[in-house]
Amino acid sequence: SSLSSSRYLCAGPPTQLSRVVTTMAMVSQPVMAPPLALERPPPGLERPCVASSRVSSHGLPLDALRSESTGSSVSTSAKDMHPKSAPSSRDHSLLGGSPVWLSQDSAGSLALAIDEPAYIRLGECLSPVNTSVGDALSETSLSSHSERSVLEDPWRHSQDPAGSRRVQDALDEASDEAREAALKEFHGRAVKAMCDPHANHVLQKCISIMAPTSLQFMVDELLERDGLATAVARHRYGGRIVQHLLKRCSASQVSGLAEALMQETVALACHSFGNFPVQHLLQFGTEEQRHRLAQTIVSNAETICRSKVGAGVVAAALEHASSEDKLLIAQAVLLEPGLLVELAQCRHGHSAVLRMLQMLDGQDSLQAHMGLAMGIATLRASRYGRVVAKHLEEKTLHVTVQ
């Protein structure tokens, strides 16, 4: 294995050296690699560690080593330290367990010194490591360390695309205790995170994998100020969080949030992003909440139906509301001339019209079919209207055959 980052090795006074051993990287198959960049570590970070290096007994005879009696020394230049120029030998020894360090003399030569620490740069900080080939940090341990460090400050990492993805991945692998601790970093910042293009995905991940009781602070922060909940519901990213809270949390948890949304049902139903929380409330709300929303739609049928996005709210009401409320909505649409044809041309409105035709009967059904037949040319010219026009033609043919 190899250590890929730049290495920073300590240097010290020559007087502290007991002996000097010139070293080369001896491997049976030389590997092309750039020379090590050597310099002193920052003051205060010289923590000792155990390091070892391989030297060749044939390439560097022991009688060339520095001795205390003669004071002579042998050093190797930086060029000679390159693995490419190292002599090949299968007979090499290991100086294991001895603290070693590289120093640089005035002539620019490199030497291996004994009894000093070695350092390697990992990320943005210097840390002592064992430089033995077999003791290099594994990718798994580095990955685990990265996940832990990300969850120690999830708010900061969540505000950029790459960091947001790392936090989400770390949350998937983390324990319940670690998730709870990470989520606490968003307390007091929930609304800001909801409206952040990257952090909102982290909150969505928390909502999907954590217990609803742990999400209460999000609901509480939405209700801290009047109008804040509806403002977030209309936000491009914040609206997603509101939808997930309505879906994931219990009715008692989001009762205040639902009440705030129902106070502005019409405005939200006609908003490009706000209509989705209303649809979720129709789908996951209580029976009483669905009924109140349906009554609002009946009272404001023309305004909501003439809005392209409001047609989706009408379709959701016709799917999830009670049978009585569905009928009242269909009858309210029929009261407005031309509204049924206009609704049939919308992306979500045409499915609502088909539902109305199935539930209406008697005079109401006849009125609906006649109104659509009068606008058949307009329906055929519309992408979604053609679906309704085809339904009318098939039904007319069926009646004729009978």
Q: Which residues of the chain have pLDDT under 70?
A: 1-148, 397-402
Q: For residue 109, give both structure tokens.
A: 């030569």
Q: How many CB atoms lie within 10 A of CB 126?
A: 18
Q: How many CB atoms lie within 10 A of CB 130?
A: 15
For residues 179 and 160, what is the distance between their CA atoms, to the nearest angstrom?
20
**pLDDT (tens digit per residue) in 16-38:** 434 433 444 444 444 454 544 44
**pLDDT at position 283, please?**
96
For residues 187 and 174, what is the distance between their CA atoms, to the nearest angstrom?
19
For residues 354 and 104, what is the distance between their CA atoms, to the nearest angstrom?
84
**pLDDT at position 308, please?**
83
For residues 398 and 402, what is the distance between their CA atoms, to the nearest angstrom?
6
Q: What is the pTM of this model?
A: 0.63
**pLDDT at position 104, please?**
46
Q: What is the DSSP letter of 136?
A: S
Left if phi > 0, otherwise alpha if psi is -120 to 50, otherwise beta: which for 126?
beta
**pLDDT at position 397, please?**
54
- On whether the CB atoms of residues 120 and 4 are closer than 8 A, the answer is no
**pLDDT at position 88, please?**
43
**pLDDT at position 96, please?**
43
